């Protein structure tokens, strides 16, 4: 579409700053201001920090480099431009000589050439880029107009404004100011009553009191979480092709809560980067680490899991760089940075901090859920214990007696199938793909750490007997595993994969002679040459899925193996009968290989190996291990628990009780689950991962090993801090960090003023745009740190300044002199953020649900939006109050985001976004005119006008105006709206418009003469009631008749028009 004038997106600093530079023409050259930008944009690509790209061994980003003698002479001779090859080459008319060379497509203009000459003339001084020098509290500039000053911000702003020949605007009128500060601090417009309270408050600090109230509002956290969640790339799906839903909303709620409690920004940082590593980390602190779990996850078939783990590490480094350092560190992934002094090795040293974390889910304890679970478990046990009483028995006989009798027979039969198994103690574990193992109390191993597509587990066991005739592998459930395990497959894929399943391709066992030295993490690489492979005669399974039987683990074909299919959440086993008894010398170890060569994380999650010396034949008993061993104990010697275990198994598997057992299992299926959220968990030192530099950033090209460390050009690592994520977090918010406070303060400024003091808020490096108010930025940064990193205090400081409180009216003078309003001679007038557009309209309609937190919701949106993504997520539109939640709670599907938000420039949250665009397009007009959300809000608000009408149309129009735009309407505005209303009333009366359709009321179907008038009226009234309930509106006692419906429709058209005003979706 031909879109329209949209200069806010396109305005650039070059124009404004051009004059600043030239005005210094006769002054002393300032390297940072005048020279570095030229060198950085025109020279550093070949003569900068990147040693691989460096031409002619010349480096111009340091003075040493520029003045070093190469080929007999330095490039720059300080003070002597005519002897400096740099000046000569730059000024040369000869194409072969000239720098930059013509094929670079870069050129220097005359002013730039003169600047370089003068710089050399004045001694070729270098200075550090301003943003890499820690901020110091600057002196206040002198200002003439003391009366205008409300706090120090105003001094800095006024001084620059005057230099630009501009004057401040008067304070905005109360209505607009109140609306502005509501939108800025809590993201919602005020109600007319709230505004009146402030407007009519005679106290001189009425505004400041309002600010304090808003800062204390629970909606403050919701409003300020939004920009933070853009940085955190928070979303409710995994991204990439499958883009499955994930649960990480507890992290979103943590952010809201932390902001509401004004958690100091340094702590806010530490908990998100390394909350899991804090001493005695709380659940909340672990939830906070979700920040870096918001990276995408590629679950496409056939992906190399480790490759995409690497991609997410890259994302973590880049996001950390953008959020806390304001640096585009991502450039150094492939090569040393072209412009900023960061080497490629330093990039991977940062990455090393993140490389040692596992990525588990955390089940969030919840007393209520725990209680409900305990209650249900007790009930299930109770009903299981009563199973025997349900035994079908002849009349007059005791069913329990009958069951006991049958159990006895069953036991006699079963006992013959059992063997004397003893679980082997694992002594060493290793895996090819970085899986780690935790030994549980019962000697089973729980897999953790990496979750690769395929893997080889190699485990060494003590045998404990002098010979072996067979082995048993149990695949065991565990509640931390997908679908309860025993496998780790995270998703079901058609008929190919079942969540919680695994595929064991091959099973091998070796006897390792005593004395052979084995090392835990070297086991997979260890040669099997001296090990004695145990020949397996026969494999039997307790259960197998279709053709995936136990013997497939011995066929040498990696495509086939043992799996359990849909029988997840239960224990299963294989029994391997050895070809001949194997003598086990003292000190010998048994090594077991579990080769799992399948896809989609079809690997074992929990397992246990047992051995037996029983005489063959050996086969699976089909019984769970605990039952099998209890059975072998004579009934009288069994503990009550063992006795119950045997009895329970008998009862649960008896065909006679099938239906009753199914009822119990149905009850078990209703077991409430704890909410699980994605977190980071540092790996133990013994399984620490090794980090490499990657050539050109490619996953498949690891080079030398690097250790965790921070870039040399920034402050040093804090003394005594551990070289891990926690240490990194402390380093980020170290007071010596020149960037963090400036970067954070700048982003707050950007939210409040529509642009940052540094416009390129994502980049404070040498290529960034210079700050419009450098001293103000430094003052705010220092103030922020001195006030204990309090964001609320920072926000209070800014919104109580005279600068903020100005009118947003654009005068011809300011537009001509400063079209971008860099010098802040008036307040900004900016379109609301995507979510705010929705929130504001719903709030104005009085329909916004105020509930904070919880799972994301699915407000209505046009059909077919999510069908454009691969998974075609069914958008199950929420009903009731969840239809009208704040935008921050809308389910965010990365590959098909909520349509309205994309239209209003919200990002897809696939990567960190520091600065949203702000466009103005016809698609936005279509949304506001036609979208169902806006229409419902219009119907709801219109009903309120009809349900409790004011005295006369004019009064109603004025009331609406206050609801939607806060300020009182002007007479000419009322005139226009009255005319519109009248015209629509006329069309409704003439039957040109369908009132029911406009109000979303389902008009009863007309049937020929079968219904009387009265009946039709009643049906219409019922349909209206349904609609009102759907909209959450008051239902009148008296039935709504056709005339009232027409009135509702007329007001709906009017409200809809008001929602479409530019002012409605603008902060003035």
Partner 1 sequence: MQGSGRGETGNDAAAVTRRYFLRDCAMGLGTVALADLLQREERAQGAERRTDPLAPKPPHFAPRAKRVIFLFMAGGPSQADLLDYKPALAKYHNQAPPREMVERLRLAFAQRNARLLAPQYAFKKCGQSGAEISDAMPHLREIADDITIIRSVHGDHFNHAPAQIFFNTGSGLPGRPSMGSWILYGLGSQADDLPGFVVLSSGGGTSGGTANFSSGFLPTHFAGVPFRSQGDPIVDVRNPAGVDDTLQRATIDVVRQLNEKRLQQVGDPQIASRVAAYEMAFRMQRRAIELMDYSKETSATLEMYGAQPGKATFANQCLLARRLVERGVRFVNVYLKGWDHHSNVKGGLKSMCGKSDRAAAALVKDLKQRGMLDDTLVVWAGEFGRTPIVEANATLGRKAGRDHHPFAFSIWMAGGGVKRGFTLGASDELGFYCAEDPVHIHDIQATIMHLMGLDHKRVTFTYQGRSYRLTDVHGNIVHKLMEHA
- Residue 300 as a binder of partner 1 (CB under 8 A): the answer is yes
Cα first-last separation, the chain: 28
| Interface pick for partner 1 out of 831, 886, 958, 985 (rule CB under 8 A) | 831
Residue 964 Cβ vs partner 1, minimum distance, rounded to whole Å: 11
Site for partner 1 in 757-816 (CB under 8 A): 760, 762-763, 765-768, 808-812, 815-816
- Residue 496 as a binder of partner 1 (CB under 8 A): the answer is yes
- Residue 864 as a binder of partner 1 (CB under 8 A): the answer is yes
The three-class DSSP label of residue 328 is: coil
Site for partner 1 in 882-921 (CB under 8 A): 894-897, 899, 902-903, 905, 908, 910-911, 917, 919-921
Q: For residue 291, what are the CA distances in angstroms to 344, 815, 912?
A: 25, 41, 11
Residues with Cβ < 8 Å from 2, sequence gap 6 or more? Answer: none
Which range, of 267-275, 707-715, 856-864, 948-956, touches partner 1 by CB under 8 A? 856-864
Under a CB-based contact definition with an 8 Å cutoff, are residues 859 and 878 in contact?
yes
Of 322 and 575, nearer to partner 1 (C-beta) is: 322
Q: For residue 522, what are the CA distances in angstroms to 355, 420, 454, 595?
A: 20, 33, 18, 16
CB-based burial of residue 374 (10 Å sphere; 0-12 exposed, 13-18 middle, 19+ buried)?
A: exposed
- Residue 561 as a binder of partner 1 (CB under 8 A): the answer is yes
- Residue 20 as a binder of partner 1 (CB under 8 A): the answer is no
- Residue 3 as a binder of partner 1 (CB under 8 A): the answer is yes
Give the count of residues interacting with partner 1 (CB under 8 A).
129
Site for partner 1 in 311-350 (CB under 8 A): 311, 322, 328, 330-331, 338-340
- Residue 435 as a binder of partner 1 (CB under 8 A): the answer is no
- Residue 560 as a binder of partner 1 (CB under 8 A): the answer is yes
| E strand or H helix at 592 | strand 589-596
Under a CB-based contact definition with an 8 Å cutoff, are residues 59 and 76 in contact?
no
Of 32 and 810, nearer to partner 1 (C-beta) is: 810
- Residue 310 as a binder of partner 1 (CB under 8 A): the answer is no
Residue 875 Cβ vs partner 1, minimum distance, rounded to whole Å: 13
Q: How far is the C-alpha of 995 from the C-alpha of 1050, rounded, in Å?
A: 8
Site for partner 1 in 94-133 (CB under 8 A): 105
Parallel, antiparallel or unpaired: strands 606-612 and 422-423: antiparallel
Residue 982 Cβ vs partner 1, minimum distance, rounded to whole Å: 11
| Interface pick for partner 1 out of 931, 940, 942, 1046 (rule CB under 8 A) | 931
Residues with Cβ < 8 Å from 243, sequence gap 6 or more? Answer: 237, 869, 870, 871, 873, 893, 894, 895, 896
Angle at 775 between CA 770 and CA 781, to 5 degrees: 95
- Residue 283 as a binder of partner 1 (CB under 8 A): the answer is no
Give the x/- contact pattern for partner 1 in 348-387, rule: CB under 8 A.
Answer: ----------------------------------------
| E strand or H helix at 314 | helix 305-320
Which range, of 200-208, 257-265, 294-302, 434-442, touches partner 1 by CB under 8 A? 294-302
Beta strands in 208-268 (DSSP E): none
- Residue 596 as a binder of partner 1 (CB under 8 A): the answer is no
Site for partner 1 in 183-242 (CB under 8 A): 239-241
The first and second tokens of residue 572, run together, are 């299963």
Cis peptide before 100 (omega within 30 of 0): yes
| Interface pick for partner 1 out of 97, 442, 559, 1041 (rule CB under 8 A) | 559
Of 277 and 892, nearer to partner 1 (C-beta) is: 892
- Residue 6 as a binder of partner 1 (CB under 8 A): the answer is yes
Which range, of 205-213, 610-618, 732-740, 967-975, touches partner 1 by CB under 8 A? 967-975
Which range, of 412-420, 723-731, 794-802, 966-974, touches partner 1 by CB under 8 A? 966-974
Of 568 and 767, nearer to partner 1 (C-beta) is: 767
Residue 135 Cβ vs partner 1, minimum distance, rounded to whole Å: 20
CB-based burial of residue 1030 (10 Å sphere; 0-12 exposed, 13-18 middle, 19+ buried)?
A: middle
Strand partners, 362: 677
Task: Select from 728, 913, 911, 893 the least CA-distant residue to 312.
Answer: 911
Q: How far is the C-alpha of 314 from the C-alpha of 678, rounded, in Å?
A: 18
- Residue 865 as a binder of partner 1 (CB under 8 A): the answer is yes
- Residue 927 as a binder of partner 1 (CB under 8 A): the answer is yes
| Interface pick for partner 1 out of 371, 983, 1035, 1041 (rule CB under 8 A) | 983
- Residue 245 as a binder of partner 1 (CB under 8 A): the answer is no
Give the x/- contact pattern for partner 1 in 501-530, rule: CB under 8 A.
Answer: --x---------------------------
- Residue 55 as a binder of partner 1 (CB under 8 A): the answer is no
Under a CB-based contact definition with an 8 Å cutoff, are residues 433 and 455 in contact?
yes
Angle at 759 between CA 296 and CA 163, to 5 degrees: 170
Q: What is the largest CA-CA distance in the chain?
A: 120
Under a CB-based contact definition with an 8 Å cutoff, are residues 156 and 773 in contact?
yes
Instruction: Write down the residue that tokens 């309003």 correspond to.
Output: 821
């Amino acid at each position: 579409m031909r879109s329209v004038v949209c200069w806010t997106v396109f305005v650039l600093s070059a124009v404004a700053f051009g004059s600043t530079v030239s005005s210094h023409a006769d002054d002393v050259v300032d390297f940072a201001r005048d020279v570095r930008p030229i060198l950085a944009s025109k020279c550093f690509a070949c003569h900068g920090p990147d040693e691989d790209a460096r031409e002619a061994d010349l480096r111009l980003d340091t003075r040493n480099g520029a003045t070093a003698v190469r080929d007999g002479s330095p490039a720059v001779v300080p003070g002597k431009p005519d002897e400096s090859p740099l000046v000569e080459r730059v000024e040369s008319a000869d194409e072969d000589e000239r720098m930059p060379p013509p094929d670079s497509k870069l050129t220097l203009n005359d002013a730039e050439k003169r600047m370089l000459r003068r710089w050399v003339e004045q001694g070729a001084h270098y200075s550090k880029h301003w943003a890499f020098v820690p901020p110091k509290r600057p002196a206040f500039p002198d200002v003439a107009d003391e009366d205008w000053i409300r706090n120090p911000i105003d001094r800095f702003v006024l001084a620059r404004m005057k230099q630009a020949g501009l004057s401040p605007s008067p304070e905005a009128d109360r209505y607009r100011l109140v609306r502005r500060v509501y939108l800025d601090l809590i993201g919602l417009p005020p109600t007319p009553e709230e505004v009146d309270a402030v407007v009519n408050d005679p106290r001189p600090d009425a505004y400041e009191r309002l600010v304090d109230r808003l800062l204390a509002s629970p909606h403050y956290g919701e409003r300020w979480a939004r920009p933070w969640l853009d940085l955190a790339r928070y979303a409710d799906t995994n991204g990439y092709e499958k883009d499955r839903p994930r649960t990480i909303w507890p992290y979103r709620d943590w952010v809201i809560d932390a902001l509401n409690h004004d958690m100091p920004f340094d702590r806010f940082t530490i908990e998100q980067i390394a909350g899991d590593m804090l001493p005695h980390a709380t659940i909340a602190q672990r939830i906070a680490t979700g920040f870096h779990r918001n990276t995408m996850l590629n679950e496409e078939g056939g992906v190399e899991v480790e490759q995409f783990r690497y991609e997410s590490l890259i994302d973590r480094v880049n996001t950390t760089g953008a959020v806390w350092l304001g640096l585009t560190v991502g450039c150094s992934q492939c090569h040393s940075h072209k412009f900023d002094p960061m080497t490629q090795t330093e990039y991977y040293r940062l990455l090393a901090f993140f490389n040692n974390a596992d990525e588990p889910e955390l089940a969030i304890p919840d007393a209520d859920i725990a209680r409900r679970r305990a209650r249900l478990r007790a009930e299930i046990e109770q009903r299981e214990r009563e199973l025997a009483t349900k035994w079908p028995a002849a009349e007059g006989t005791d069913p329990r007696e009958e069951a006991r009798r049958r159990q006895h027979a069953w036991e006699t039969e079963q006992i013959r199938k059992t063997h004397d198994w003893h679980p082997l103690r694992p002594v060493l574990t290793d895996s090819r793909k970085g899986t780690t193992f935790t030994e549980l109390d019962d000697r089973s191993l729980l897999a953790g750490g990496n979750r690769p597509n395929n893997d080889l587990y190699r485990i060494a066991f003590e045998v404990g007997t002098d010979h072996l005739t067979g082995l048993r592998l149990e695949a065991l459930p565990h509640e931390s595993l997908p679908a309860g395990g025993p496998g780790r497959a995270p998703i079901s894929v058609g008929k190919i994969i079942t969540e919680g399943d695994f595929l064991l391709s091959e099973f091998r066992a070796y006897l390792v002679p005593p004395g052979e030295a084995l090392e835990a993490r070297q086991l997979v690489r260890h040669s099997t040459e001296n090990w004695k492979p145990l020949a397996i005669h026969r494999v039997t399974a307790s259960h197998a899925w279709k053709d995936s039987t136990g013997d497939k683990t011995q066929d040498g074909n990696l495509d086939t193996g043992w799996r359990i299919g849909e029988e997840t959440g239960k224990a299963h086993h294989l029994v391997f009968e050895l070809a001949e008894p194997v003598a086990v010398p003292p000190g010998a170890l048994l090594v077991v290989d579990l080769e799992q060569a399948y896809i989609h994380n079809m690997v074992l999650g929990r397992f246990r190996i047992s051995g037996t010396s029983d005489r063959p034949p050996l086969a699976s008993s089909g019984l769970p291990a605990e039952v099998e061993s209890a059975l072998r104990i004579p009934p009288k010697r069994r503990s009550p628990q063992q006795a119950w275990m045997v009895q329970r198994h008998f009862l649960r598997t008896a065909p006679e009780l099938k239906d009753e057992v199914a009822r119990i299992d149905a009850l078990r299926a209703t077991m409430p689950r704890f909410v699980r959220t994605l977190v980071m968990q540092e790996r133990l030192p013994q399984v620490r991962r090794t980090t490499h530099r990657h050539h050109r950033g490619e996953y498949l090209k690891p080079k030398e090993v690097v250790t965790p460390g921070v870039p040399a050009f920034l402050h040093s690592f804090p003394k005594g801090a551990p070289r891990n994520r926690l240490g990194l977090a402390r380093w980020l918010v170290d007071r010596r960090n020149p960037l963090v406070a400036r970067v954070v303060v700048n982003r707050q400024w950007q939210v409040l003023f529509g642009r940052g003091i540094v416009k390129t808020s994502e980049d404070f490096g040498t290529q960034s745009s210079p700050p419009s108010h450098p001293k103000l930025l430094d003052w705010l940064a220092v103030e922020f740190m001195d006030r204990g990193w309090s964001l609320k205090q920072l926000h209070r400081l800014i919104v109580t300044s005279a600068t903020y409180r100005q009118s947003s009216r654009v005068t011809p003078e300011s537009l001509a002199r400063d079209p971008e309003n860099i010098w802040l001679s008036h307040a900004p007038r900016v379109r609301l953020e995507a979510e705010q557009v929705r929130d504001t309209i719903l709030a104005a309609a009085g329909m916004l649900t105020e509930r904070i937190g919880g799972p994301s919701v699915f407000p209505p949106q046009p059909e077919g939006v999510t069908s454009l993504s691969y998974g075609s997520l069914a958008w199950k539109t929420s009903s009731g109050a969840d239809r009208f939640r704040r935008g921050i709670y809308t389910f965010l599907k990365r590959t098909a985001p909520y349509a309205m938000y994309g239209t209003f420039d919200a990002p897809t949250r696939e990567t960190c976004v520091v600065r949203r665009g702000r466009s103005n397009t016809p698609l936005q007009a279509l949304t506001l005119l036609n979208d169902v959300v806006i229409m419902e809000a219009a119907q709801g608000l219109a009903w309120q006008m009809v349900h409790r009408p004011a005295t006369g149309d004019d009064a109603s129009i004025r009331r609406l105006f206050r609801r939607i735009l806060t300020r009182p309407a002007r007479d000419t505005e009322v005139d226009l709206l009255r005319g519109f209303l009248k015209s629509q009333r006329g069309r409704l009366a003439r039957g040109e418009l369908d009132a029911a359709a406009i109000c979303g009321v389902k008009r009863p179907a007309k049937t020929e003469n079968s219904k009387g008038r009265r009946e039709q009226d009643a049906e219409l009234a019922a349909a209206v009631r349904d609609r009102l309930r759907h909209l959450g509106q008051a239902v009148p006692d008296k039935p709504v008749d056709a005339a009232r419906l027409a009135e509702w429709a007329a007001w709906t058209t009017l409200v809809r028009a008001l929602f479409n005003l530019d002012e409605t979706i603008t902060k003035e």
